[in-house]
Structure 1
Amino acid sequence: MSERVIKVDVVVIGGCGHVGLPLALALADRGLSVASYDINDDAVKKVMAGELPFREDGAAEVLTRVLADGRFAATSDPEVVGAADTVIMVIGTPVDEHLNPDPDAVPRALAEIAPFLSDGQLLILRSTVYPGVTRRVEKQLRDSGRNLEVAFCPERIAEGKAMEELFTLPQLVGARTPAALARASALFRHLTDSIVEVEPEEAELAKLMTNTWRYIKFAAANQFYVMANDHGVDYERVRHAVTFDYPRAADLPGAGFAAGPCLLKDTMQLAAFSDNTFVLGHSAMLVNEGLPLYLVSRLEESYNLPECTVGILGTAFKAESDDTRSSLAYKLKRILQFRADGVLATDPYVTSDPSLRPLAEVLDRADVLVIAAPHNAYRELVTDKPVIDVWNLRGNGVRV
């Protein structure tokens, strides 16, 4: 067998997505040679043309810099996988329509790239995985006769803040062998000196519990909001009273849609891991997923919805984002399409939804407005229409 030729330090599989691309750019900007492999040809072409396929603060400048320096390239050719010392897998790991996790997603993806892997490579799993998937991948490689080191190093960034948090947050490195632990830790020390070394199963649970903890906190806030609102009390004033100069309650969130591609999914993965005995997680899901219906029910008490057109302001799952994955704005829209006379939606960043209307049209035609994504553009919005603002973006309270 001829000696393997290493042409790049790192290849990121799924490297033109929301998680993979910022990581690839960050590593390249710290001096490594990096390739992003992605099956999305359109995304690859955009990236190679110096254009980001999604919003990510600070990433455009880095992309321009590393392309010019020749330290980074994107490709849809899988052969690049074999040319790297380290392979980082970043793929989506969704739950199905019954909220069951798919523990085969990563092993399936691994089987597709297996022909291009080589002995001696370090394989890093970066996707959030069902607990035990890292061990399955290790066995899968052994059974195929491949000798690769394996580590699980979960991403921890918030969308929009990747180019900051990749360098400031501690990196979790989970590996079973000293060699894998040392190599993975050395790689991420290009980004930060703060490395937390753990077992793979500890890292898997740490990632799921991190997102689940956030989801539960949001559910507590949303439940508090419903309690207060049902009794005519402004939850935001209560929250101010609770948190003002009181550090033990400083992390009490405001109300709002707890959505996106991670929080619900990872809570349900943890629920499945506990054989569906995770009562707190399921309760959080009922509260958070039920908020759009609650708001519509409250609207029905104050407005003649069958005669009203409702304008939805923001369809991204979070503020200042163009990402609509698992956005509860669309759940709100579906409910209103059944209960209201008409529904119009707008978003200053989302370009993937042809049904969206310009803001001016929504303001003109709607009878009542609902802020579904708290974009800054809506903070100083001038309108004489009633605005439902559960986020308190406009500072006028959250009573509905």
Structure 2
Amino acid sequence: MLERGELLEGVIEKFEDRTAVIAVVGLGYVGQPLVLRFAEIGYRVLGFDISLELVNLLNSGSSPIEHIDNKRIAAARLAGFEATTDFSRIKDATGIIMCVPTPLNKHREPDLSFIVNTCEQIAPYLQDGQVVALESTTYPGTTKEVVVPRLESAGLEVGKSVFAVYSPEREDPANIDFTTSTIPKVVGGHTPACLKAGLALYGGAIETLVPVSSTETAEMTKLLENIHRAVNIGLVNEMKIVADKMGIDIFEVIDAAATKPFGFTPYYPGPGLGGHCIPIDPFYLTWKAREFGLQTRFIELAGEVNRVMPDFVMSKLVSALNQRGKAVKGAKVMVLGIAYKKNVDDMRESPSAVIMEELRRQGAVLSYADPHVPVFPKMREHSFDLSAVELTPPTLAAQDAVVLATDHAAFDYEMIRKHAPLIVDARGVFRAPEKHIVRA
């Protein structure tokens, strides 16, 4: 039997000479880029997911994610990548990276069921010398309190025979300036030996690693990153409402403030927060802080401001229609852009879906245009039997109003400006004041 030090050195050597098999559990927006990166640099990669449909699609050389080129999936397959639903094959891997969802439940409390279920699925197949990394965003203490005990249920001692790390994902879909390999990666280990194993796991794939003292520190780092954005976006969304009441263009204000070369970072308002991180992650810390008798007032206030932004957009639409002698009920309203941010196909937590729900509730004749989302996808909280409408002068002219909710680069904004009878602009695309354009 190998001594502790010998086992760790053997694990590190496998990563360095790339004889280690990498297992990625959860093949979505975070898991697929990791699969591709490890495959591209010579590792054999196994992908695990509970969706047989997704597994079959990836094994055919295709991806359902728009910004991931099918050619890269096909190349990974040629390099040995294989997707599977058979979790017994975890025993073949040296590095196991978990990229599973961490949503909130209906009470806005952390839902760790995906992490728990994944740990319980892999535990029976764990072997000496494996490294298990969690990348899912969660509250500080999750790795120590939730993951480690379930790994040790297999009879292995974390830090000696198996190694546990937390390394938060930092994916930014469709960002051409930063990729999986170039975004610095924070890594925290359950023990010093775990940290060494984690750094070896990611060392060949990521250009810059940022080791921290514990998994709790790494978990808190991810939350701070996203809370920083959520709070600042909440601030600028509130400023938008104040500026609107005062007849001031908030986008002009932001552009002017951004000329200051120090002490100011521009954030831009919108119809609300979307994506898998910023609307959700701050509440993981809010929930955990209650355990220590603390109230995270900044975080909760920012969340309240951001959650009501779709209502602000709706109020501007209702007012603009009323001024034209129209009610929302029966009005033809087209939502422009339903992905949560520009130039992606990701619908998770999209404020556009919230606006569409309210339009439907008030009786609007609803349609949408989005070049990245041809059919409204299945979502946990929203369901629309709709397909994207092609944007043309006649389709625009046929509407009573269009709501610009997501400012995709593919939209022809000059055509929209010319032919839409009423534009409710929630993204500040149309800067010049015109009678038929309402800033929201």
TM-score of the superposition, structure 2-length normalised? Answer: 0.84
Change (3 A) 1:39 1:196: same
Displacement of 1:382 after TM fit?
0.7
User: Does the CA-based 8 Å contact 2:373-2:388 persist in structure 1?
Assistant: no
Question: Which ranges in structure 1 are unaligned for 5 or more consecutive residues?
Answer: none
* Structure 2 match to 1:263: 278
Displacement of 1:142 after TM fit?
2.5
Change (3 A) 1:42 1:394: farther
Q: Which moved more, 1:201-210 or 1:375-384?
A: 375-384
Displacement of 1:357 after TM fit?
3.6
* Structure 2 match to 1:132: 141
| CA deviation profile, 1:136-161 (whole Å, cap 9, x unmatched) | 22123224412421011110111223
Could you tell me how far apart the structure 1 residues matched to 2:350 and 2:207 are? 35
Could you tell me how far apart the structure 1 residues matched to 2:87 and 2:272 are? 38
> 2:256 aligned with 1:238, yes or no?
no
> 2:53 aligned with 1:42, yes or no?
yes
* Structure 2 match to 1:399: 439
Structure 1 residue identity aligned to 2:249: D
1:209 pairs with one of 221, 224, 232: 224
Aligned length: 396
User: Does the CA-based 8 Å contact 2:40-2:76 persist in structure 1?
Assistant: yes
2:423 pairs with one of 387, 392, 398: 387
Q: Which moved more, 1:190-199 or 1:245-254?
A: 245-254
Displacement of 1:187 after TM fit?
2.0
> 2:107 aligned with 1:60, yes or no?
no
Could you tell me how far apart the structure 2 residues matched to 1:300 and 1:340 are? 12
Change (3 A) 1:32 1:379: same
- Post-superposition, which runs of at least 4 consecutive aligned residues in structure 1 deviate over 3 A? 161-164, 394-398
SS at match of 1:378: coil
Could you tell me how far apart the structure 2 residues matched to 1:97 and 1:215 are? 20
Structure 1 residue identity aligned to 2:21: D
Question: Which ranges in structure 2 are unaligned for 5 or more consecutive residues?
Answer: 2-13, 377-384
> 2:393 aligned with 1:368, yes or no?
no
Structure 2 residue identity aligned to 1:142: E
Structure 1 residue identity aligned to 2:367: L
Change (3 A) 1:197 1:8: closer
Could you tell me how far apart the structure 2 residues matched to 1:77 and 1:351 are? 32
Could you tell me how far apart the structure 2 residues matched to 1:371 and 1:22 are? 30
User: Does the CA-based 8 Å contact 1:374-1:393 persist in structure 2?
Assistant: yes
User: Does the CA-based 8 Å contact 1:235-1:399 persist in structure 2?
Assistant: no
Could you tell me how far apart the structure 2 residues matched to 1:79 and 1:394 are? 55
Structure 2 residue identity aligned to 1:209: L
1:186-205 to 2 correspondence within 5 Å? 186-198=200-212, 199-205=214-220
Q: Which moved more, 1:199-208 or 1:380-389?
A: 380-389
Could you tell me how far apart the structure 2 residues matched to 1:176 and 1:114 are? 17
Structure 2 residue identity aligned to 1:355: L
Displacement of 1:183 after TM fit?
1.7
Change (3 A) 1:396 1:26: farther
| CA deviation profile, 1:42-96 (whole Å, cap 9, x unmatched) | 1111111111111225x4343232222x232212222221100111111111110
Q: Which moved more, 1:332-341 or 1:16-25?
A: 332-341
1:97-116 to 2 correspondence within 5 Å? 97-116=106-125
Could you tell me how far apart the structure 1 residues matched to 2:371 and 2:272 are? 18
User: Does the CA-based 8 Å contact 1:221-1:255 persist in structure 2?
Assistant: no
Structure 2 residue identity aligned to 1:139: P
Displacement of 1:362 after TM fit?
4.9
* Structure 1 match to 2:309: 291
Could you tell me how far apart the structure 1 residues matched to 2:363 and 2:120 are? 48
Could you tell me how far apart the structure 1 residues matched to 2:397 and 2:88 are? 54
User: Does the CA-based 8 Å contact 1:37-1:80 persist in structure 2?
Assistant: no
User: Does the CA-based 8 Å contact 2:367-2:389 persist in structure 1?
Assistant: no
SS at match of 2:366: strand
2:386 pairs with one of 330, 343, 355: 355
Could you tell me how far apart the structure 2 residues matched to 1:171 and 1:324 are? 26
1:178 pairs with one of 185, 192, 212: 192
Displacement of 1:8 after TM fit?
5.4
SS at match of 2:308: helix
Could you tell me how far apart the structure 1 residues matched to 2:28 and 2:198 are? 21
1:133-148 to 2 correspondence within 5 Å? 133-136=142-145, 137-147=147-157, 148=162
Change (3 A) 1:379 1:189: farther
SS at match of 1:311: strand
User: Does the CA-based 8 Å contact 1:35-1:73 persist in structure 2?
Assistant: yes
User: Does the CA-based 8 Å contact 2:271-2:310 persist in structure 1?
Assistant: no
SS at match of 2:94: strand
Displacement of 1:391 after TM fit?
1.2
User: Does the CA-based 8 Å contact 1:322-1:351 persist in structure 2?
Assistant: no
> 2:24 aligned with 1:12, yes or no?
yes
Identity %: 27
SS at match of 2:220: helix
| CA deviation profile, 1:269-312 (whole Å, cap 9, x unmatched) | 11111116111111111111111111111222221333522110
* Structure 1 match to 2:6: none
Q: Which moved more, 1:354-363 or 1:144-153?
A: 354-363
Change (3 A) 1:95 1:306: same
Could you tell me how far apart the structure 2 residues matched to 1:264 and 1:254 are? 14
